[in-house]
């Protein structure tokens, strides 16, 4: 089976005249159409807001596209907060969800008036001592055990480092209310990259029932429920993609069945999607530069795990298209590799593909989230450029490629490497 690319070989040939491979390429048209669908799917909820998970794709040009549609930012670090602030996000446009949080990051988030989502019961006291308790706050819930949809185990929250237990959540709300909190939120993330329309409605039911219990027992005024992320994408071509309209309708039904009868029908629904928002609308473009014939057949690319870490880190599948050979038979078995001194630096293992010739352009699909963002500099490799394929077919450089000067920049306090010529 094959996946369609959002860019043609002819377009790539033009792009590579200006920008050498490897680079990450993003589809503006796809991003815009997707965020419109998300907003339509949850339009039944008056307070709905998507807080884009900045960690997934921390590029200001792409975040600004989402900002046009009223999205906020989900930040998890100081630098992500700084980026959001620089882009004009403020106050309730920013959700700060972090863990093992340094004091200075809580202080910065409070100065920005961002909505803080506490990850742990002990953070109540820590936040009060370091930055003070705000009037609006959210707490992250971890129900523990295994998270199942029907009989399928989706994930194991009991092994996750995140969130309050149920008992801690109830006690935490009581304490926070006594300390002056007026507006409360509940947040949870129970499974990653789910490709099922049942995940969000199932999670929503858990959170809605918990919210009713908490408000009844503590009197806390719950203003929003944050379903976080977890809606996945079909990395494999045979997978059926999620239907965001069916997902939105499933959440609406749970909302009407649980919250409305409890007199809590004015609660806003928030999401913090990253992969769903950007994943399919980015790809890594690389050139085949070497072939190796030993015990297996290898194709060496000018990209490596520095540019896309997921296959090396998780054994994750990313579909690969050999551009210009989409309709040729996949009758050659290859390992597609990078040049790192690591044997796990492979984009594909025993992948059946058309015959690859040196100079062929390969498109590695679905890298728009957690692709460039997870890059690193092992072996002194440099991170690639990011390019936006605009709706009109033109391109825009939205991040330049790193240079050796960038790599050595943290030695600028010393002249030990002064003899390097750039």
- Model confidence pLDDT, tens digit, residues 215-236: 999 999 999 999 999 999 999 9
What local confidence, expressed as pLDDT, does residue 189 receive? 87
Strand partners, 248: none
Maximum distance among all Cα pairs of the chain, rounded to whole angstroms: 73
CA 384 to chain centre: 19
The two beta strands, 94-97 and 115-118, are parallel
What is the pLDDT confidence band of residue 158, given thresholds at 50, 70 and 90? Answer: low
What local confidence, expressed as pLDDT, does residue 283 receive? 98
The whole-number average pLDDT for the span 169-184 is 97
Average pLDDT across the chain, whole number: 95
The whole-number average pLDDT for the span 89-98 is 96
Angstrom distance (rounded) from CA 326 to CA 31 = 24
What is the pLDDT confidence band of residue 173, given thresholds at 50, 70 and 90? Answer: very high
**Cα-atom radius of gyration of the chain, to the nearest Å?**
23
Q: List, for residues 308-341, the tens digit of each pLDDT value.
A: 999 999 999 999 999 999 999 999 999 999 999 9
Q: List, for residues 103-114, the tens digit of each pLDDT value.
A: 999 999 999 999
Domain spans of the chain? 28-279, 280-404
What local confidence, expressed as pLDDT, does residue 1 receive? 81
What local confidence, expressed as pLDDT, does residue 161 receive? 85
Asked if the bond preceding 211 is cis, omega within 30° of 0, the reply is no
What local confidence, expressed as pLDDT, does residue 67 receive? 98
- Provide the sign of the torsion angle of the four alpha carbons 31, 33, 34, 39, taken in this order: positive
Question: What architecture does CATH give domain 28-279?
Answer: Alpha-Beta Barrel (3.20)
Going by C-beta distance under 8 Å and a sequence separation of 6 or more, which residues neighbour residue 241? 195, 233, 234
364 pLDDT exceeds 90?
yes
The whole-number average pLDDT for the span 146-167 is 73
Q: What is the CATH number of domain 280-404?
A: 2.40.37.10
Q: List, for residues 22-78, the tens digit of each pLDDT value.
A: 999 999 999 999 999 999 999 999 999 999 999 999 999 999 999 999 999 999 999
Q: Are 99 and 161 in contact (CB under 8 A)?
A: yes
Q: What percent of the chain has pLDDT over 70?
A: 97
What local confidence, expressed as pLDDT, does residue 148 receive? 66
What local confidence, expressed as pLDDT, does residue 57 receive? 98
What is the pLDDT confidence band of residue 191, given thresholds at 50, 70 and 90? Answer: confident
What local confidence, expressed as pLDDT, does residue 152 receive? 57
92 pLDDT exceeds 60?
yes
304 pLDDT exceeds 90?
yes
In the set 283, 301, 330, 341, the catalytic residue is: 341
Angstrom distance (rounded) from CA 284 to CA 277 = 17
Q: Are 250 and 197 in contact (CB under 8 A)?
A: yes
Q: Considering only 183-187, 191-195, 316-320, which range has the smallest mean pLDDT?
A: 191-195
Report the Cα–Cα distance between both ends of the chain, in Å, rounded.
46
What local confidence, expressed as pLDDT, does residue 151 receive? 53
What local confidence, expressed as pLDDT, does residue 124 receive? 97
Whether residue 341 lies in the annotated active site: yes
154 pLDDT exceeds 60?
no
The whole-number average pLDDT for the span 258-273 is 98
* CA distances in angstroms from 237 to 1, 101, 290, 312, 331, listed in the order given: 6, 39, 27, 20, 18
Angstrom distance (rounded) from CA 285 to CA 24 = 6
Q: Reduced to 3 states, what is the DSSP secondary structure of residue 344? A: coil
The whole-number average pLDDT for the span 369-376 is 97
Q: Are 75 and 81 in contact (CB under 8 A)?
A: yes
Task: Find the Cα–Cα–Cα–Cα dihedral 185, 189, 194, 198, rounded to 10°.
Answer: -50
Q: For residue 73, which of 86, 191, 387 has the smallest C-alpha distance?
A: 86
């Amino acid at each position: 089976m094959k996946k369609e690319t959002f860019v043609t070989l002819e377009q790539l040939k033009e792009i590579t005249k200006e920008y050498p491979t490897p680079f990450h390429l993003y589809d503006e048209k796809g991003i815009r159409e997707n965020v419109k669908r998300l907003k339509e799917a949850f339009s039944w909820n008056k307070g709905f807001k998507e807080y884009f998970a900045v960690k997934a794709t921390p590029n200001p040009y792409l975040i600004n596209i989402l900002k046009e549609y009223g999205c906020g930012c989900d930040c998890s670090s100081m630098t992500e907060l700084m980026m959001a602030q620089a882009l004009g996000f403020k106050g309730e446009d920013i959700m700060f969800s972090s863990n093992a949080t340094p004091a200075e990051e809580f202080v910065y988030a409070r100065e920005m008036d961002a909505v803080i989502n506490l990850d742990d019961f002990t953070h109540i006291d820590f936040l009060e001592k370091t930055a003070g308790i705000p009037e609006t706050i959210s707490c992250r819930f971890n129900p523990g055990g295994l998270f199942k949809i029907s009989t399928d185990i989706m994930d194991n929250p009991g092994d996750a480092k995140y969130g309050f237990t149920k008992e801690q959540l109830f006690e935490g709300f009581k304490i926070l209310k006594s300390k002056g909190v007026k507006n409360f939120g509940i947040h949870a993330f129970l499974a990653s990259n789910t490709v099922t329309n049942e995940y969000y409605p199932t999670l929503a039911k858990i959170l809605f029932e918990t919210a009713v219990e908490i408000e009844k027992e503590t009197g806390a005024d719950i203003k929003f429920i944050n379903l976080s992320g977890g809606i996945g994408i079909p990395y494999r071509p045979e997978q059926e993609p999620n239907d965001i309209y069916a997902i939105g309708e499933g959440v609406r039904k749970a909302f009407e069945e649980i919250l409305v009868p409890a007199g809590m029908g004015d609660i806003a629904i928030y999401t913090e999607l990253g992969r769903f928002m950007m994943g399919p609308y980015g790809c890594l473009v690389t050139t085949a530069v070497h072939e190796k014939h030993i015990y297996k057949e290898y194709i060496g690319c000018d990209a490596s795990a520095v540019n896309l870490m997921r296959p090396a880190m998780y054994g994750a599948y990313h579909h690969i298209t050999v551009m210009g050979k989409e309709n040729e038979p996949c009758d050659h078995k290859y390992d597609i590799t990078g040049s790192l001194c690591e044997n796990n630096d492979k984009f594909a293992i025993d992948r059946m593909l058309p015959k690859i010739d040196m100079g062929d352009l390969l498109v590695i699909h679905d890298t728009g989230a957690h692709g460039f963002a997870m890059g690193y500099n092992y072996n002194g490799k440099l991170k690639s450029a990011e390019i936006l394929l605009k709706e009109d077919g033109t391109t825009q450089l939205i991040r330049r490629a790193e240079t050796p000067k960038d790599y050595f920049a943290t030695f600028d306090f010393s002249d030990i490497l002064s003899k390097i010529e750039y």
